[in-house]
Chain A
Amino acid sequence: MAETITAAVRNGVDTTTMFATLDAFKAQLEIATFQFRARNRWIGGAHNRSTIRDFAAAGGEDTSRAHAFALDAGEPAILLGTDTAPNMGSDGGSGRRAFPTFTTVSDAAAGTYASTFVGPATRPTWATADLDLGSSSRWPRARSFKTSSASPTTGNRGTTLRGETT
């Protein structure tokens, strides 16, 4: 039943660093506050591009990313696009308090539109989550896995994630 963990790296995860991170978050919850951001610029029609690079972590700006991630979005032809990228359908209807703020820039003369989305300052719920790394070694072979997390502030179980692996 109890599994002895000997390897420091499991499933590609440096468990020593992970447990050290979890301990650090537990000891000092304020450093577990993260804020992520995405900037989006209109290119033409339904085609637009997000750039993602900077974020705030562990009490300061994180500068570990040498390059920005660029993500294109569009619509398929049936929805009037040219299918330059996936549709990014989203449901923003839940959790108003968690809704990101955004700023917009519109220069109609130059034909440019851009927006910057800034996520709410959040703490990773897995700071106090029930993580069972012993069973995580079975994920790649399991048909499905489930993990639950608890709110660091209230202790209430709030999130259940389900995923399928093949």
Chain B
Amino acid sequence: MTTTETRRNGVDTVTLFATLDAVKAAPAAAVFQFRASNEWQSGTHSRSTIHGFFGVGEERSHRRVFEMDGDHPQVLVGADNGPTPVEYVLHALATCLTAAWSTSPPRAGSRSPRCAPR
């Protein structure tokens, strides 16, 4: 199958395949470390800050600082200033799965992403 498109689902497939090849050639480049710092605000309310991370052999940073608030809802004696930690975990799992779908079609050589609803 001849692939002529370079972007699918918003993914730069040329760079995607180049990254996959580079990681195969030098697996150490695939070592990443992500971090989050958290500062207490009041009660069950706290704020995480996400900026720096390590990847492809060097220290890097996101293009801006991401801030995310966490809290408890009222029924758990919080002020609901943000999602609960459990909901952040669900968010993490969901975003990882969705991102995997968006990048898997070009790898599979298929234009239409497929997934198996359960």
Contact = CB atoms under 8 A, between A and B. Distances in A.
Interface residues of B, number: 61
Nearest to A43: B10
- Interface-centre pick from B93, B96, B117 (highest chain A CB count, 10 A): B93
B113 A117 contact: no
B81 to A, nearest CB: 10
Interface of B: 9-12, 15-16, 19, 32, 34, 36, 38-45, 50, 53, 55-56, 60, 62-64, 66, 68, 73-77, 80, 82-84, 86-99, 101-103, 112-118
B94 to A, nearest CB: 3
Contact of B40 (A62, A104, A116, A165): A165
A111 B55 CA distance: 31
Contact of A80 (B19, B39, B40, B74): B19
Given A12-B43, A13-B44, A117-B93, 12 more contacts: A36-B86, A40-B95, A41-B98, A45-B11, A76-B53, A80-B19, A100-B90, A106-B117, A111-B9, A113-B115, A115-B94, A122-B86
Contacts of A17: 77
A129 interface: no
A46 B83 contact: no
A interface, size bucket: 35 or more
A23 interface: no
A92 B91 CA distance: 12
Contacts of A48: 94-95, 98-99, 102
A158 interface: no
A46 B45 CA distance: 29
A34 B76 CA distance: 10
Contacts of A89: 32, 34, 92, 96
- Interface-centre pick from A48, A65, A114 (highest chain B CB count, 10 A): A48
26 contacts: A12-B44, A14-B77, A17-B77, A21-B76, A34-B76, A36-B86, A38-B94, A40-B94, A40-B98, A44-B10, A46-B102, A52-B83, A57-B76, A62-B73, A69-B83, A76-B62, A83-B62, A88-B92, A89-B34, A104-B97, A108-B114, A114-B98, A115-B97, A118-B90, A122-B86, A163-B38
